[in-house]
Structure formats: structure tokens, C-alpha cells
């Protein structure tokens, strides 16, 4: 099963907040057999969660209850797909560092408030796959 969502940071997210999110996610995901990637930019999170159906559903519900973000939009919810981020319990990258990449620039320029569903599943998957390619080649993603 695969779920992809976008949510808005509720508070000013600091580097230590992101470190805490990643440490907790990686611990939970490893125990649950979940893989994926988390992106952060322009005050928004984008995340792909992959694994067996019940584990993905539990993980997604836990994420939705996290007070550090809200206004979650489920962009994709599917099953029977191969894992695309299987080497990472939770990969991570800041989007602004890669704003020269077309899919990233498109995300950062999109008005998510006015058009919350306009950044659809195909475009979001392209964004995530671009980051997989970028980060796999650069070592920019800690693959704990």
C-alpha cells in the first residue's frame, strides 16, 4: 500500500523539530516495515508512506494526530504498487535547496492554500521521484 499526503506546518518548524520527527518516524517505520520519504518546503510537508496496508494505515493515522502540522490532503491512496523508496525507513530533504529542479520549483510556486488539490498525485509522485534520484546520487538523504 502507498499513501502520499501534503500537510501544512502549524508552527514555525525548527531544525530540531525536524530531527525529532525523523528520529521518531524512522524508529516507528523500521518496527512496522514502513518505508518512504518526507519533504519539507514553503511551510509544507509532503510524504510518501509505503508498506503493508494495516501498517500504512496506522502510520498515517498517527501522523494525522501530530500537532506540528494540519490541513492534511491525501493525494494518493493505492495498493499493489512496488516500493519506490524501499531503501529508506524515512528519507528526508528540504525542498528549497533543490529549487532549480522543475518539479520542486512547481511545488514551491503553487498556491496550496487557494488550490489544495491542484498539486495532484501524478505531479506529487514526480516530485518525490525527483528527490529520490537527487538524494540517492548525492547522499543528501540520511537513510537511517
- Largest interatomic CA distance in the chain: 38
* Nearest one of 19, 55, 17 to 36, comparing CA atoms: 55
Structure-block grid coordinates of residue 88? 529508506
pLDDT exceeds 50 at position 143: no
CATH class of 2-138: alpha beta
Domain locations in the chain as residue ranges: 2-138
Instruction: Give the tens place of pLDDT for each residue, 10-21.
Output: 878 888 999 999
Q: Which helix (H) or strand (E) holds 40?
A: strand 35-41
Taking the C-alpha atoms of residue 111 and residue 59, their distance in angstroms, rounded to an integer, is 27
Instruction: Give the tens place of pLDDT for each residue, 33-65.
Output: 999 999 999 999 999 999 999 999 999 999 999
pLDDT at 144: 36
Amino acid at each position: 500500500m502507498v499513501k502520499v499526503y501534503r500537510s501544512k506546518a502549524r508552527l514555525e518548524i525548527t531544525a530540531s523539530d525536524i530531527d525529532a520527527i525523523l528520529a521518531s518516524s524512522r524508529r516507528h517505520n523500521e518496527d512496522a516495515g514502513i518505508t518512504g520519504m518526507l519533504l519539507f518546503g514553503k511551510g509544507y510537508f509532503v510524504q510518501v508512506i509505503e508498506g503493508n496496508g494495516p501498517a500504512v494505515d496506522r502510520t498515517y493515522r498517527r501522523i494525522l494526530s501530530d500537532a506540528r502540522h494540519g490541513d492534511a490532503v491525501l493525494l494518493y491512496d493505492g495498493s499493489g504498487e512496488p516500493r519506490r523508496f524501499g531503501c529508506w525507513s524515512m528519507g528526508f530533504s528540504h525542498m528549497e535547496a533543490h529549487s532549480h529542479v522543475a518539479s520542486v520549483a512547481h511545488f514551491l510556486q503553487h498556491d496550496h492554500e487557494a488550490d489544495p488539490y491542484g498539486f495532484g498525485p501524478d505531479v506529487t509522485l514526480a516530485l518525490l521521484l525527483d528527490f529520490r534520484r537527487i538524494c540517492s546520487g548525492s547522499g543528501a538523504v540520511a537513510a537511517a
